[in-house]
Amino acid sequence: MVDLLDNVKPRPSDEAIKSERVKEYVQLMRLHEALERKKNMLYEELKEEERKEAFEALSNEFNLPPHVTVRDAADIMSISPQMVRRHCAEKKLAAQQTFEGSGKWRIETKQLMDQPNWERFIEKRARIKDQSLGLADEMLNQLQEED
């Protein structure tokens, strides 16, 4: 972690910062912005096959579902659920209606990787995975104690 911060160049305005913790925080924010720009640039350069490969790798690591709900897609895209339904109906999103006329759609997750809140969705899935693993470990411990 410290090695990464060494790569963030100090700016003249940093001299006014007295606290080392504040300096570290500011450096982390700059690093975050630089990483975000690099990530977006790399994603734009990926070919379709590489995007599929990236999605598969993320799916395995964070237990991503192949399809998401309208609500999840709305959160990921930062638009209303109604707009997501409209995009689905207009075939702007790869999706299947679960029951004709119901307004419920199964939306392919992989097409949402370039959307504004994709990282937040990944973080949510990581939290769910961690909680599930924690619960499973706790249940195994209880079962072992009973034996």
Q: Determine contact, residues 74/19, Cβ cutoff 8 Å.
A: no
Q: Residue 5: is its pLDDT beyond 70? A: no
State residue 64's pLDDT score: 93
Note whether 52 and 61 are within 8 A (CB): no
Give the whole-angstrom CA distance, residue 8 versus residue 34. 9
Burial class (CB in 10 A: 0-12, 13-18, 19+), 30: middle
Under 8 Å between Cβ of 46 and 53 = no
Specify the DSSP class assigned to residue 101. T
CA 15, 17, 19, 23 torsion-angle sign: negative
- pLDDT digit string, tens, across residues 105-132: 999 999 999 998 999 999 999 999 889 8
Element (H, E) at 99: none
Predicted local distance difference test score (pLDDT) of residue 6: 65
Is pLDDT above 90 for 20?
no
Q: Which band of pLDDT confidence, cut at 50, 70 and 90, is reported for residue 1?
A: very low
pLDDT bucket at 81, cuts 50 / 70 / 90: very high
Asked if residues 95 and 108 have their Cβ atoms less than 8 Å apart, the reply is yes
Compute the C-alpha angle 128/73/117, nearest 5°.
Answer: 70
Do 43 and 114 contact (CB within 8 A), yes or no? yes
pLDDT on residue 7: 67
Across all residues in the chain, what is the average pLDDT? 89
Per-residue pLDDT at 102: 86
pLDDT in the model for residue 16: 83
* Residues 70 and 102 sit within 8 Å (Cβ to Cβ): no
Banded model confidence at residue 100, pLDDT cuts 50, 70, 90: confident
Q: Give the residue extent of every domain in the chain.
A: 1-45, 64-147
pLDDT single digits (tens) 41-72: 898 899 989 999 999 998 988 889 999 999 99
| Whether the predicted pLDDT of 104 surpasses 70 | yes
User: pLDDT at position 33, please?
Assistant: 87
